[in-house]
Structure 1
Amino acid sequence: MVFQFQRLIILGLVTWFFVGVLSDHECETPYEVEALPESYAHLGEGPHWDVATQNLFMVDIEAGKLKRFDYKLNKIYECQIENETFASFVIPIDGFTDQFAVGIGHRIASVKWDGISKTCKVDRTLLTVEESREYETNRFNDAKCDPRNRLYAGTMQQNRTGGSTGNLYKVTKLNSYDLLIKDLKISNGLAFDENAKKLYHIDSKKYNVMSYDYDINNGEIKNPKVVFELSGYGDNVVPDGMTIDSEGFLYAAINGGSAVFKIDPKNGHVLLKIMIPAKQVTSAAFGGPNLNILYVTTSDETSPSGRSQAFKVTGLGSKGLPMKNVKLENFNI
C-alpha cells in the first residue's frame, strides 16, 4: 500500500508539471509536451513552419547549422553551412524548395540546401549591416516576415553584456533597409497581428514585450507601448522568441524559466504557463497540418547537458497563423 501511495504521488507530480494553469480564471488546461527525435541543439532557435512543405525549420546558432523537421517522416535532417560558424535564423525563400534566407553574422545570405545533405553553402549575400567598428561585436538574431512577406530582422551584441547597440531593420531591397528600432540590447521575439494592426517585439534585456502600430501597406511602425513586463523572475530569466495565435494571443519563450507564457497583449495578463522540461526556452512557433501544434526550441548554452531539444506541445486548443516566407521580389532581385 505504501508503494502504491508513493507511486500515485509521483504520477500526480509529473501530471502537474505538464499542466498549464490559467491564472486569471483558476482553471486548468491540460496539454502534452514531447521531444522531437534527435533534435539536440546547443543553441536551438528560430523555429519556422513552412506550410507548403509541412516542414519545421530551425537553427543551431553557434554551430552554424540549419535543421529541418519532416512532419510526415517524424525525422530531423541538418546541414552545416560551409565556412560559417553562425546561423541566427532560417526562413524559406518563397517559390524555391532549396533556398533559404539565413542570418550569418552581419549578413543575411541566401543559403542553398536540398533539405537532406549534411552540408549546405551560401549562394549570395542579400544584405549586410553594421559594418563600422561600433558594431563589430554585433550579429543578427531573430527575424520574421510580415503578412506581405517583407523581412524584419534584428541584431544584438554577441557577448550580451555590452551596451545597447542592437537594431531592428526592415529589408527594403537588395542590400538596402529601413532602421525601425535602434539602441536595443537583444532584438528578439517578433510577431505580427494584421487584424489588430500591431507589431510585437521583444528586447530581451529590457524584460518586456512592446507593441507598435503597424501599417500593412508600407510596413512602417510607430507608437511604442509596453504590453507585458516580466518581473520577479531574476536577472537570468528573460523573454526570448515569440509567436502569435489566430486570436491575437502571444506566446513568449521564457529563457531561464522553463516555460512559454501565453499572454493577452490587451492587458498584459499571463493566461497560461506552458511548462517545458528545459531551463533555457528560446522560441516557439505554431505548425502541423492544422497549425495547432506549438513547436518549442531550447538551449543548454550556459550549462551544457547534451539534452537540449526541440519539443512539440499538443492539446492547447489554440491555432497559429501561417508563417510567411521571404519573397525575393521584395528585394528587387
Structure 2
Amino acid sequence: MSFKVEAVPSPKSILGEGPHWDEQLQSLFYNDIYGTEASILRYDFKENKTYSAKIDGEKIVGFIIPVANTTKTCELDEYAVGICRRVGIVHWDGKSPKALLGPIAFEVEDDKPENRFNDAKADPVGRFYGGTMRQESKGDLFDVAAGTFYKYIKGDGVYELLHGIYVSNGMAWNESTNKFYYIDSCKFNVREYDWDPSTGDISNERIAIDFKVNGKNPPFIPDGMTIDTDGNLYVATYGGSKVLKVDPKKGKIVLEIPIPARQVTSVCFGGPNLDILYVTSASAPANAAAIGLHPDDKQSELDGRLFKVTGLGVKGFPGVRVRV
C-alpha cells in the first residue's frame, strides 16, 4: 500500500482535537482545547485554507460539532461546543476571528468543578455522546477516574452511560453491526459495545483490542478514533507519532501510519469522496506540563498542525450533525 501524509495549511494548535467532516459545507471543523489565539477552526477543502475563531471569555473548548436542528433561517452558523462542563451553542460564519456564544444546551457535574468535557460526537441519528475528565492542570490523569460518559437526547435529557472514566476519548459506530467503540485513554484499550439504534443505549462490553504488551503500557496513549466502511478502526496515538489501523474483530493492528508530529490526537475521514484521513495533533507550549503535554525538547515544526493522509484505499463516513 502506498499512502501519502501531508501537512494541511493550518495554524499551530496547542491541543488540536475533534476533527469533524461536514459534508454539506465540504469543510473540516476541529478545535484547539487550550488555544490562546483560536478555539475553533474550519478547514475549507475548496480553498485549501483554514479559518479560526476565538470564543470570547472561554479558555477551554473541548469539541465543536455542527448543529442539525435550528430555528434560524441559516443553520450553517450554529455549532455545539464543549465549554468546561457545559455544552453551549456558538454562532460563527466560519471565517470571522470571533465567535459568539449563545444559549447553553445543558450542563453536567456541578459537584466536580475541576472536570471538563473532552471528545464528543453525534451518533448516526444525531444524538449527542460525550464524556468528561479531570482537567490536566489539576493533577496526573492516571490518578483519578473522575469522568463520566454521557448521552444527551434533545427534549429528553442527559443520561449517564459509563462511570469511572479517566480520559473520555475516541468514539466510533458501526451501523451495519450495531456496535459502538470507545476509548478511555488511560486504560490503553478500545472497548466494544452493542449499540441500540432506537434508544442509543450501549451494553455487553468487551475489549476489542488491548494495546498493552505483556501487561505493560505502550509508549503512547490511545486518543481519538474513527472507522472506515469496512469496519476497521483508526486510532490516534498521543506520544506515538502514528495512527494505528485496527481490525476490531481480530483485535490486531493491521497498519501503522507514521505522522510527523509526536502528539497525534484524533482522526476522521473527509474530502469529497470521504477517502482522505484527516489527523489533528498537539504542540507543547511553555506550560506543557500543566496541561499534560510532553516537554518541548523533542518538538518539531509540524507538531500541532493538521494533516491529511491520502492513498489508503478506503473510505469513511461524514460527520453527523448533532441535535441539541
Give TM-score scaled by structure 1 length.
0.87
- Identify the match of residue 63 of structure 2 among 82, 89, 109: 89
Q: Supply the distance in 2 between the matched residues of 1:174 and 1:41 (Cα, whole angstroms).
A: 35
Using the aligned pairs only, state the percent identity: 44
Q: Supply the distance in 1 between the matched residues of 2:103 and 2:263 (Cα, whole angstroms).
A: 33
Give the equivalent residue in structure 2 for 1:123. Answer: 102
Q: Supply the distance in 1 between the matched residues of 2:109 and 2:143 (Cα, whole angstroms).
A: 16
Give the equivalent residue in structure 2 for 1:237. Answer: 220
Give the equivalent residue in structure 2 for 1:303. Answer: 295
Q: Supply the distance in 2 between the matched residues of 1:285 and 1:142 (Cα, whole angstroms).
A: 13
Give the equivalent residue in structure 1 for 2:29. Answer: 57
Give the equivalent residue in structure 1 for 2:82. Answer: 103
User: After the TM superposition, which residues 242-281 of structure 1 pair with which residues of structure 2 at under 5 Å, given as runs?
Assistant: 242-281=225-264
The question of whether the paired residues in 2 share the 8 Å contact of 1:260 and 1:276 is answered with: yes
The CA deviation string for residues 142-187 of structure 1, in whole angstroms up to 9 with x for no partner, is 0111111001011111122431111110002369301001101001
C-alpha deviation, 1:39, in angstroms: 3.1
- Identify the match of residue 319 of structure 1 among 308, 315, 320: 315
Task: In structure 1, give the amino acid aligned to 2:195.
Answer: Y
**Runs (4+) of structure 1 moved beyond 6 Å?**
none
Q: Supply the distance in 1 between the matched residues of 2:155 and 2:59 (Cα, whole angstroms).
A: 23
C-alpha deviation, 1:94, in angstroms: 1.4
* Structure 2 CA distance for partners of 1:249 and 1:235, relative to 1, 3 Å: closer
Aligned to 2:240, what secondary structure does the other structure show?
Answer: coil
* Structure 2 CA distance for partners of 1:115 and 1:189, relative to 1, 3 Å: same
Q: Figure out how many residues of one structure are paired with residues of the other and give that number.
A: 298
The CA deviation string for residues 222-274 of structure 1, in whole angstroms up to 9 with x for no partner, is 00100111124856511000000011110000111111111001011111101
1:144 matched to 2:121:
yes
The question of whether the paired residues in 2 share the 8 Å contact of 1:47 and 1:296 is answered with: yes
Return the index of the structure with the highest Cα Rg.
1
- Identify the match of residue 114 of structure 1 among 82, 93, 97: 93
Gaps of 5+ in 2: 70-74, 285-293
Higher deviation after alignment, 302-311 or 204-213:
302-311
The question of whether the paired residues in 2 share the 8 Å contact of 1:37 and 1:74 is answered with: yes
* Structure 2 CA distance for partners of 1:161 and 1:270, relative to 1, 3 Å: closer
Q: Supply the distance in 2 between the matched residues of 1:327 and 1:270 (Cα, whole angstroms).
A: 34
Task: In structure 1, give the amino acid aligned to 2:121.
Answer: K
* Structure 2 CA distance for partners of 1:176 and 1:162, relative to 1, 3 Å: farther
The question of whether the paired residues in 1 share the 8 Å contact of 2:16 and 2:31 is answered with: yes
C-alpha deviation, 1:121, in angstroms: 1.8
Q: What's the Cα RMSD here?
A: 1.5
Higher deviation after alignment, 274-283 or 87-96:
87-96
Aligned to 1:97, what secondary structure does the other structure show?
Answer: helix
Task: In structure 1, give the amino acid aligned to 2:316.
Answer: G
C-alpha deviation, 1:38, in angstroms: 2.8
Give TM-score scaled by structure 2 length.
0.89
